[in-house]
Structure 1
Amino acid sequence: MAFGNDYRTTGAPGWGRAATTDAAALDAGLRAYMLRVYNWMASGLLVTAIVSYVIANTSLSELFFNVVRTPRGLATQPTMLGLVAMFAPLAFVLVLSFGVNRMSKTSVQALFWVFCATMGASMANIFVVYVGASVASTFAVTAGMFAAVSLYGYTTKTDLTKMGSFMMMGLIGIIIAGVVNMFIGSGPLALAISIIGVIVFVGLTAYDTQRIKADYIEYAYAEGTDGAAKRSVFDALGLYLNFINLFQLMLQFMGVRRD
């Protein structure tokens, strides 16, 4: 769907003022909605970062992973609880995806916070494996890249639907390749997965931003306050996942491992 003035009604002079007022109200509502989505996303990232940092720098880390030395530097091996933390976010995503319409606004919001905290536990090893300065610089680069691409998705008139479908196919491909590489341990394949992964999540960020905008325009007058509130959390979750995956992939290139 191309975004321009398609939702602004024009016609006889008697209708012009009402149409302009409706369009202005829709634009204002869209900006407020997108700000709410980005605020949820940013808050979720903050919770994830705090939980990751606390676990990595306290004795809680022993519950989630063991630190080992490899020729490449420090690495971690997940404990049983660590494995649960790694796969638990997938369960949260599935619950939100299929149950968001049946859940209350409070339940959706609470589940989002728990999801972000669990994701933080699963990523705590980052602060052990990588030098803190490289984690911070990678986060800053990822944030800048994400902001630029999301802005493009919001402002472009180009329909990104086909690109989104193509990127989803790419995502499935890198997941399969990643599982295979867990068994064969190929360095070149890991590098290829990281490069393709960055391209995929950059594309998905632009596509999801445009989709969120289109959904708001379509449903702005069809859903109540609670419905919009729940949808803003779910939309934030999609952008959050794009950012987290992009950040982890960028660490493969920019992260400096501890000795």
Structure 2
Amino acid sequence: MENNNPDYVYKNVIQLNETDASRKYLAKVFAWMFAALGISAFVAFEFFGNQGLMSLIINPVAGGFTGLGYAAVFAPLAFSMALSFGFNRMSYPVTLVLFITYAATMGISLSVLGLIYTASSMFGVFLSASAVFAIMAIAGYTTQMDLSKFGSILMIIFFGVFAVSIINFFLGSSQIQYIVSFAFMVIMIGLTAYYIQMLKRIGAGIEYGTAESKKLVIMGAFMLYTTFINLFMSMLRIFGGRR
């Protein structure tokens, strides 16, 4: 049966365009996210497999972090803040360089995990984190529920838990670390769905071909990359088998 309602046709055409735009945007976001994960994995592998490089961040005698090691641990946080708060003032090339550098410094931090956890448990947790991330990404993309308020609450909790984790980095309490890791895991699972829905909406209204659209792709990749890394690390602290 033919429908001659012009409103019906118009709405369906617009919806189709928005869907295509979202998919195109998210495809680019995921491509850069995977590229960042590849950079981090490469750097982590190089540092872990090279005793000379590892000695730059871990004191071979005392066994603790060197000055450069502490810098490597906190450098990703500095890059993260620069990307988050300087986004509007930075050009696309600067944003891209910061993102790549952020992924590389994160790789240096991740290389230390090889000294703590077995390779098999790290691989198993990585696959588990990937599966959880994928499920929540699909849920965030397909759900009709507005996750904005839910995401805002999670962000508030995240900053509180993050502050506790920074303090515990120096206290070294295993009990607090376990609680923080579990909280981070739950938060990252929820934020994955929230970010995907948010990026889906951004992609639907983006104007392609501009420097701003390219920056939005990098920022989307930055959010998903950071979420996945935090999910992986929190799950590793809970389920990872130690050496």
Contact residue 147 and residue 194 of structure 2 kept, 8 A: yes
Q: CA RMSD in A?
A: 2.1
1:61, distance to aligned residue in structure 2 (A): 0.6
| Partners of 1:130 and 1:124 in 2: CA distance | 11
Write the letter of the residue equivalent to 2:149.
K
Determine helix, strand or coil for the equivalent of 1:66.
Answer: coil
Instruction: Quote the sequence identity (%).
Output: 34
Determine helix, strand or coil for the equivalent of 1:60.
Answer: helix
22-31 vs 132-141, which moves further: 22-31
Q: Calculate the TM-score normalised by the size of structure 2.
A: 0.90
| Partners of 2:112 and 2:225 in 1: CA distance | 19
Write the letter of the residue equivalent to 1:232.
V
Q: Which residue of 1 aligns with 2:220?
A: 235
1:183, distance to aligned residue in structure 2 (A): 5.0
1:37, distance to aligned residue in structure 2 (A): 0.6
Contact residue 83 and residue 95 of structure 2 kept, 8 A: yes
Query: Which of residues 41, 45, 54 is equivalent to 1:53?
Result: 45
| Partners of 2:152 and 2:172 in 1: CA distance | 29
Determine helix, strand or coil for the equivalent of 1:101.
Answer: helix
Aligned residues between the structures = 240
| Partners of 2:190 and 2:67 in 1: CA distance | 34
1:31, distance to aligned residue in structure 2 (A): 0.6
Equivalent runs, 1:94-133 vs 2, <5 Å: 94-133=81-120
Cα–Cα, structure 1 residues 250 and 211, in superposed 2: closer, same or farther, change >3 Å? same
Cα–Cα, structure 1 residues 94 and 45, in superposed 2: closer, same or farther, change >3 Å? same
Q: Calculate the TM-score normalised by the size of structure 1.
A: 0.85
List runs of 5+ in structure 1 lacking aligned partners.
1-10, 70-75
1:246 paired with 2:231, answer yes
Write the letter of the residue equivalent to 2:137.
S
Q: Which residue of 1 aligns with 2:158?
A: 171
Higher helix share: 2
Cα–Cα, structure 1 residues 181 and 95, in superposed 2: closer, same or farther, change >3 Å? closer
Determine helix, strand or coil for the equivalent of 2:59.
Answer: strand
Equivalent runs, 1:13-28 vs 2, <5 Å: 13-28=5-20
List runs of 5+ in structure 2 lacking aligned partners.
none
1:163-220 Cα distance to aligned partner (Å, 9 max, x none): 1122112212212322343454433322211111111111111111111112223x32
Contact residue 137 and residue 192 of structure 2 kept, 8 A: yes
147-156 vs 165-174, which moves further: 165-174
1:65 paired with 2:58, answer yes
